[in-house]
Chain A
Amino acid sequence: RVHLDYLSEVMGVLQHHDAITGTSKEHVTQDYTVQIYSALKACSYSAKIVLNQLTRRQTNTDKPPENEHGSARYKDEATSPEPLFTFDFDSCLLLNVSACEISETRDKFMVTVYNALAHSVFHYIRVPVDGSFEYEVTDYRSVPIPHQIISVPPQVTALHPDKAAGFELVFLATELPPIGYKSFFIVRKPARMLNTPRVLFRDIPEVVLVANNAQMSSDQPQKPPRN
């Protein structure tokens, strides 16, 4: 809450007409940048904690006890069973210049795509990668996602020569649920290791993860979202 308030306050400051139109003095503009950057980092930190708590709940195999209102929730997150696994969710603030430290340097990484719209969308995802590798993109049903590795113009990589690897991995994220998200598992490999046989779990029904109730259900057939 404190971090959200901080971001709200900074956004309030940046509603000033000089901040919007670019008619503030240079050092004031630079201060606006510092303020919004630090507020975003603070909220990013908070979001990481919230998302990890969400992950912790969703990956628990034990059903949490219901409270007096009937909602399933642990009274104290610290007393909940240990999660099967946890990981951080990080924003890459240099995506606008095709640079991201995680996607360019890790052998395995996950991309989570959050759709803030109230209707389902499909969206082409562009992820900065190291062009000297091949990649596999897989969704949660073990379905390989067609993708393409494409070079970034040298004029763009020149903006951050020490950070941008110069390539982007492009794939289509289909049926992003309204106000919900999907994740993709991406592995980089030398070319000879690709196309190894893998068991496919195509019979697993679509799972829609919705942020506001954070439930994961796959028992019942899912109705397609209405657009």
Chain B
Amino acid sequence: SNVVSIGNKYFSVGFDSKGFLSSISLEDGSEHKLSQNFFYYEGAVGDNRVFKNRSSGAYIFRPNSTERWVTDHVNVKVIKGPVVEEVHQTFNDWISQVVRIYRDYNYVEFEWLVGSIPVDDGVGKEVVSRFVSDIQSSNVFYTDSNGREMIKRVRDHRETWNLQLQEEIAGNYYPVTTNIAIEDGQRRLAIMNDRAQGGSSLQDGALELMVQRRLLHDDAFGVAEALNQSYPVRGKHFLIFGKLDGSVPSMAARERFLQAEKLLSPWLFFSDVTSFEYEDWR
């Protein structure tokens, strides 16, 4: 029932009594609202004869507008040590996550594990991790372009024609290869991923990334199979939060270096040296 926090010399993040991420505190002492949770969209189901009856499937993301939170209470295990501090969160039988802060890194790492997604209820599910802050992003968010420059996205808007969205969720989703971000002139929140995912900002201050999907129907675009395999998937999100003015290094530099370090992360090789003494090896 206690509120817990983990952190390092750069910042700390707090968790509320229900086990959810609730705040982030920067090194200048300022505290900001920041929460994270998992939920899923239910996939649309239809006979695919006309557009409005299209099912959500391998090619298209088409929720039926139903958004369901996976839990209202998270089981939490807190581990603190000299190198890394972690909060192990168990959301339900098929979603868990480790929130991690290393001693010398200025970002928060979220290592999620989702699956096998149950479909005993006959409902296809598209699982999303959503971060909510108090940043006033004014309908604007940014996604990367295949790891290169960031592109400005405006919710419910296209640059070259008047848009009337029929599907307000899927219609605001964009490809996120490495980075999605929001800002309000003072602060910036960026979520970087370890693989290409779909993402959006469906309300001011919020960012979401789809992490896993399991659907029971084909969408009739050619694959002729439903995305109905029960694989568990493990991946990482990296959260960078900070002030835009006076931040050294700048937020953009922090994101760019982290992007390079995660896309070209070090390779590990293991060698059995059982027959050697350390001095020989040295």
Contacts and interface: CB of A to CB of B under 8 A. Distances in A.
A146 B278 contact: no
Contacts of A11: none
B265 A185 contact: no
Interface stretch (A20-28, A63-71, A73-81): A20-28
A116 B263 CA distance: 10
A116 B282 contact: no
A143 B224 CA distance: 59
B83 A112 contact: no
Interface residues of B, number: 45
With most chain B CB atoms within 10 A of its CB, the pick from A84, A146, A147, A156 is A156
A117 B261 contact: yes
Interface string B88-120: 101000001010001111000000010000000
Contact of A109 (B59, B90, B273): B273
B273 A108 contact: yes
A212 to B, nearest CB: 16
Given A26-B225, A117-B260, A124 B270 contact: no
B83 A147 contact: yes
Given A114-B267, A153-B98, A170-B84, A85 B276 contact: yes
Given A23-B59, A156-B113, A172-B104, A90 B270 contact: yes
Given A102-B271, A110-B273, A110-B281, A116 B82 contact: no
Interface residues of A, number: 61
Contacts of B274: 106-109
Nearest to B98: A153
Given A22-B58, A25-B225, A159-B232, A172 B281 contact: no
Nearest to A176: B266
Contacts of A23: 58-59, 221-223
A77 B161 CA distance: 67
A125 B105 CA distance: 13
Contacts of A88: 271-272
A111 interface: yes
Contact of A112 (B102, B268, B278): B268
Contact of B278 (A97, A114, A185): A185
Nearest to A187: B278
B86 interface: yes
B233 to A, nearest CB: 10
Given A85-B276, A108-B276, A102 B102 contact: no
B224 A25 contact: yes
Contact of B282 (A108, A115, A185): A185
Interface in A109-144: 109-117, 121-125, 127, 138, 140, 142
Contact of B264 (A92, A116, A146): A116
A42 interface: no
Contacts of A151: 79
A140 B273 contact: no
Nearest to B194: A96
Nearest to B277: A108
A176 B268 CA distance: 12
Contacts of B267: 91, 113-114, 116
Interface of B: 58-59, 79, 81-84, 86, 88, 90, 96, 98, 102-105, 113, 196, 221-225, 227, 229, 232, 234, 260-261, 264-274, 276, 278, 280-282
Given A108-B272, A124-B105, 7 more contacts: A22-B58, A23-B58, A85-B281, A109-B273, A110-B273, A113-B266, A185-B278
Interface of A: 18, 20-26, 51, 84-85, 87-92, 95-97, 100, 102-103, 106-117, 121-125, 127, 138, 140, 142, 146-148, 150-151, 153, 155-156, 159, 170-173, 176, 185, 187, 201
